[in-house]
Structure 1
Amino acid sequence: MSFTRPLLSSLLVFHASASLQADDLQALGDEFTTSLTQPQWSRLYQTEGWDADQLELWDFNPSYAPGHMVMAPHTSSWYADLKGVLVYKEITGDFVLTTRMRVTRRGTNSTLPNDGTFSEQSGPPSRAFSLAGIFVRNPRNISSAAPDPAPAGTPTYPSPAEGQPGHYTTDWTPDGENYLFLSFGCAGNPNTWQYEVKTTSNGTSTLYYNTHGVPADNASAQYVTLQMVRVGNTIVTMRKHDDGPWIVENRYIESPSVPQQQFPNFGQTLQVGLTTYTDWSSMSNVYYNSGDHASQFQHNYSVLDGASFNPDLIAYVDYYRFQRPDPAITEETLAALPLAFENNTATNLPATGAGAYLGDNANSPAPDLSADSDNDGVSNLIEALTGTNPANPESRPDIISSDSSDLTLTLPHQNNLNSVTLEIQHSSSLDSLDWTTLATRTSAGWSISAPHQASDDSTQLLFTTPLTSGENFYRILVTP
């Protein structure tokens, strides 16, 4: 008696892929064509235990914006010790990240697009420092950041001694932020399209913003493509407005001549993702408070959603794409690129040198969900469903168990079964095209008959069937 490892795609596991995916990072990208991939993203407020979701809206492939990830932040910011929104993937080593997005205001009366009364407002955001963009950050050894118990009002920092009024516990400390980002929206001048660049080393932030190369008309200005490349201890940021040319914005190295080009205190593994933030004017006096640690700490574990706050930003992200840099890109070739920051004007990506391997030449779409990018016999679709890593062949669901009388398939999932149709099938031969469906699950529930049994909860699916004599092969078909 025998059985296959379950088929985790529309093809037999033995037919899944003839060769390895050429680029080990591409499968970590997202084209946002399904909500199934949402659990593959990490949220910083959860990773570090802040207990404050600063995103008011975070949707994948919604009916009002198919093929997009939609982000709308509460009032929040990144500066010094202030921590804002970050959704990310962990990346080790060199990378190229490219994302395209449309940046808009909130609707009339501050409504969001999932609201039936939503009516879009044109033009740049009306609140200072309301932007969205690409963000890389050094991970911190923090897991219980929110104060326990939460003090009333602004806390004392550091915490009073145990047994004293206002005492709390936290593993957050100030002066530990190391990050770099390039974002687009409205920076220091409300109602003006601008880009912002910020580098932060050990909690000290240096930023600038400008309008070089930004289209004058709203219809074109709201669309931006951003790219960041890391090679060794050099990072270069680039931007492309609407369908215009690529602009090389800035370069970051370990010992620059000016702080605007400081490479943060980065290790090999970074949190690489997307941020949105908005409405600096409403919160800066109280929650930045001239750099007061206690005030910034309170911002980080708070959701600022009261009547005194005026967030004004929505980001519709079209795609988020990774790949390894071409071997021809070195720190030396990146050092030769001309920069808008140094030239104080929009400076196009050259067609030679590192420029021949960046921009549109480093913007490959994420693999289709039907692909098996890491050649582990499990499709990217199933890896999304089960929460495993589609770029790591060692990360795959282990779902078969059996005893003397029954075969049990246990499929872990990310509470997203209602987004797919799932069929469990049987055949007596791998050579046969005659596969019999034993059970089907849709958003309406199970269709199954005895002696087979199936059930599911918020974390796993169970299917049990009696073992019979002879050879038996089972597969699981999943379609979005």
Structure 2
Amino acid sequence: MLTKFKKEVLASIALALGVATFASGCVISHVTREGPEWNVHADEKTLAVDASPQGNDDLAPLSDEFDDASTLPQWAKLSDVEGWPDEIKKLDANTANPGNLTLEPYASFWFGDFHAPFLFKKVTGDFIVTTRVLVTGATADVPARGYSLAGLLARAPHDEGRKNWKEGTENWIFITAGSGDGDGVPQFETKNTKDSSSRLELSPRTPGWVELRIARVGTRITLLRRAEKEDWRVMRREERPDLPQTLQVGLIAYTDYDSLKWDLIFNRVDTYHHRVITDGVPDLISRFDYVRFQRPPVSRR
């Protein structure tokens, strides 16, 4: 196991060499996700169904079209549930943008043991969750600050709360859209985190509205995306037998890596989790058109 000192030494070496990895163990890959292997395979066709839960689907009541502000309290905030700092700068439903949920974060990041704004509902067993999201900067079609993205996350709950939480115990997976390591460059980000070790993949995208999806069937987690008037494309396939039956599933947003990068590079988790960075330079506005929950047409559970 790496000691804090060893992590800081490795981080310094990585910085000097320009290596795309951090003390907390995150590995970054740039991928294109082109070619037939990232088409929806025959055995995945049920994961590419329309996001229209049927009336007898027990997950349908969790869905939200964001055309009624009174539904917002039905979403749990990670900061409220587990006791973390509230890094949400702005949050409303059907107000700033009618028919949308608007979420703007302060400088924050989902990475290893680091948390950012997260609105969720608990889901047990197999599921498909889909959202349609538009991610922009404050004055441009693409955020100008590095690692400014928003999308969907599925996470193992920490019912023990912040007081009894331990580093190295984070388990989650997400798919987001925005700008990653190329400031102002539109990208998708997927990140698979096991025991707080994150493996990050970045791929190019076209600005504008996009649908994002997480599908869980058995131990397999599949991440998909669909641009306007296009077919679903698979972004990632991961086996996660370690995840519990019940997960927190919902919306995330984070921004402004440069304002907090030293906490991340040197893995200063405790420092990060004891403050909200209100003097950073956040540049992300996320608009969610809907979130729809449904069971996969063929479920193993």
User: Which TM class, normalised by the smaller chain length?
Assistant: 0.7 to 0.9
Provide the TM-score with structure 2 as the length reference: 0.79
Displacement of 1:330: 6.2
Structure with max Cα Rg: 1
Q: Kindly indicate whether residue 2 of structure 2 is the aligned counterpart of residue 31 of structure 1.
A: no
Give aligned pairs, total: 248
Q: Per-residue displacement from partner, 1:293-344 (whole Å, max 9, x unpaired)?
A: xx212212321011xx1110010100000110002x669xxxxxxxxxxxxx
Corresponding residue for 2:288?
317
Q: Kindly indicate whether residue 283 of structure 2 is the aligned counterpart of residue 290 of structure 1.
A: no
Corresponding residue for 2:152?
134
Q: Kindly indicate whether residue 228 of structure 2 is the aligned counterpart of residue 235 of structure 1.
A: no
Q: Which amino acid aligns with 1:207?
A: L
Distance between the aligned counterparts of 2:70 and 2:271, measured in 1? 33
Mapped contact 1:178–1:264 kept (Cα < 8 A): no
Corresponding residue for 2:35?
none
DSSP 3-state at the match of 2:260: helix
Displacement of 1:27: 0.9
DSSP 3-state at the match of 1:32: coil
From 276, 279, 283, the equivalent of 1:303 is 276
Distance between the aligned counterparts of 1:76 and 1:228, measured in 2? 22
Q: Kindly indicate whether residue 170 of structure 2 is the aligned counterpart of residue 197 of structure 1.
A: no
Distance between the aligned counterparts of 1:310 and 1:181, measured in 2? 24
> Larger RCO: Structure 1 or Structure 2 (Cα < 8 Å, ≥ 6 residues apart)?
2
Query: Does the C-alpha gap of structure 1 residues 29 and 242 become closer, same or farther in structure 2, counting only changes over 3 Å?
Result: same
Distance between the aligned counterparts of 2:274 and 2:116, measured in 1? 10
Q: Which amino acid aligns with 1:68?
A: N
Distance between the aligned counterparts of 1:57 and 1:289, measured in 2? 27
Q: Which amino acid aligns with 1:299?
A: Y
Corresponding residue for 2:29?
none
Distance between the aligned counterparts of 2:238 and 2:71, measured in 1? 32
Corresponding residue for 2:48?
none
Q: Report matched runs for 1:20-419 at 5 Å.
A: 21-50=55-84, 52-62=85-95, 64-106=96-138, 121-143=139-161, 145=162, 170-211=163-204, 214-215=205-206, 221-253=207-239, 263=240, 265-285=242-262, 287-291=263-267, 295-306=268-279, 309-327=280-298
Q: RMSD over aligned Cα, in angstroms?
A: 1.6
Mapped contact 2:130–2:291 kept (Cα < 8 A): yes
Task: Identify unmatched segments of 5+ residues in structure 2.
Answer: 1-53
Corresponding residue for 1:406?
none
Displacement of 1:195: 0.2
Which 4+ stretches in 1 moved above 3 angstroms?
Answer: none
Mapped contact 1:104–1:315 kept (Cα < 8 A): yes
DSSP 3-state at the match of 1:195: strand
Query: Does the C-alpha gap of structure 1 residues 134 and 92 become closer, same or farther in structure 2, counting only changes over 3 Å?
Result: same
Q: Which amino acid aligns with 1:126?
A: A
Distance between the aligned counterparts of 2:170 and 2:242, measured in 1? 9
Q: Per-residue displacement from partner, 1:70-101 (whole Å, max 9, x unpaired)?
A: 00000000111111111000000000101001
Mapped contact 1:81–1:297 kept (Cα < 8 A): no
Mapped contact 1:132–1:274 kept (Cα < 8 A): yes
Displacement of 1:231: 0.6
Task: Identify unmatched segments of 5+ residues in structure 1.
Answer: 1-19, 107-120, 146-169, 216-220, 254-262, 332-480
Displacement of 1:264: 7.0
Displacement of 1:129: 0.4
DSSP 3-state at the match of 2:120: strand
Identity of aligned residues (%): 35
Distance between the aligned counterparts of 2:265 and 2:203, measured in 1? 25
